[in-house]
């Protein structure tokens, strides 16, 4: 099934806006954590879910990128980047929780989560403008 270019364009822009919103949330969450000088709360079920999310989201992102490249969908590519961001953030939270538990470094999660903002903004701009880009893998 082929979709009109206007539908793909609108979906791609929505994906771009969601990536910008995620970047803003990451910045606000990191700033709030640093301002309060507090780390994240630990729970065993949450930790297990987070650990399982990392490979799951990466496999899902790879499949989405493959399909996006085949059909030329910027919207699906933006969605794949959101999946990559989810896996990255889960990894950051996992490392942050471990650093917090083992070394008392409450600030690690907030600082390291900011590293993904660059990727989110870059991919958000590309999705918004409908630019062609190389596959992220």
DSSP string for residues in 112-128: HHTTHHHHHHHHHHHHH
Predicted confidence (pLDDT) per residue in 10-26, tens digit: 888 898 899 899 999 99
| Rg of the chain, C-alpha, whole Å | 17
Which range is most confident: 2-6, 19-23, 101-105? 19-23
Q: What is the pLDDT of residue 53?
A: 94
Query: pTM above 0.85?
Result: no
Structural contact between residues 117 and 27, judged by C-beta atoms closer than 8 angstroms: yes
Length of the chain: 137
Burial of 64 (C-beta count, 10 Å sphere; 0-12/13-18/19+)? buried
Q: What is the pLDDT of residue 46?
A: 85
Predicted confidence (pLDDT) per residue in 50-63, tens digit: 899 999 999 999 99
- Give the whole-angstrom CA distance, residue 97 versus residue 105: 9
């Amino acid at each position: 099934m082929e979709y009109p270019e206007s539908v793909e364009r609108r979906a791609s822009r929505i994906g771009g806006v969601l990536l910008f919103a995620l970047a803003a949330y990451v910045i606000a969450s990191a700033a709030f954590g640093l301002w309060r000088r507090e780390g994240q709360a630990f729970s065993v079920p949450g930790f297990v879910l987070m650990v399982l999310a990392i490979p799951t989201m990466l496999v899902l992102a790879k499949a989405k990128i493959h399909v996006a490249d085949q059909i030329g969908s910027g919207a699906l590519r933006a969605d794949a980047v959101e999946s990559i961001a989810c896996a990255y953030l889960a990894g950051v939270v996992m490392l942050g929780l471990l650093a917090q538990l083992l070394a008392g470094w409450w600030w690690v999660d907030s600082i390291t989560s900011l590293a993904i903002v660059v990727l989110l903004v870059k991919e958000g701009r590309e999705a918004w403008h409908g630019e062609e880009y190389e596959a992220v893998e």
